[in-house]
Amino acid sequence: DYEYCHYMQDRFNDDGWGCMYRSYQTVVSWYRLQCYTSKPIPTHEEVQRMLVKMGDKKSSFVGSKQWIGAMEAQMLLDEYLGVSSKIMNVTSGQDLEDKGRELAQHFD
């Protein structure tokens, strides 16, 4: 179970720039609903403030409509929830066999 976080939810207009914020919020909601954390789902501004505090973004980032990507989401998962993760690039289905082994090694 998870809460589906989508553009324009919570009376907040993030149309065109909030995709990864919402994806990150959805992942945090999954951890909450599995009872792995009781931390609240952070708002866009809270996400931005965390990234500034971590030194990834300048203070002018807070309140902006700048995109974040997978790298920022990975950093946020580690910082906010203590969850380590790995980003794996897969260019085609043919890569899955090798990447599957690499993914399994991540959990060893």
CATH code at position 35:
3.90.70.130
In a domain, 57, yes or no: yes
Element (H, E) at 33: helix 19-33
Distances (CA, A) of 34 to 3, 14, 28, 31, 37: 11, 27, 10, 5, 8
Number of separate domains in the chain: 1
In a domain, 14, yes or no: yes
Burial grade of 74 (CB within 10 A; 0-12, 13-18, 19 or more): middle
Q: How far is C-alpha 46 from the geometric centre of its chain's CA atoms?
A: 13
In a domain, 2, yes or no: no
pTM of the predicted structure, to 2 decimals: 0.85
In a domain, 3, yes or no: no
- Cβ 39 vs Cβ 81: under 8 Å: yes
- pLDDT interval class at 21 (50, 70, 90): very high
Q: Is the pLDDT of residue 8 over 80?
A: no
pLDDT (mean) for 71-100 = 90
In a domain, 17, yes or no: yes
Q: Is the pLDDT of residue 6 over 90?
A: no
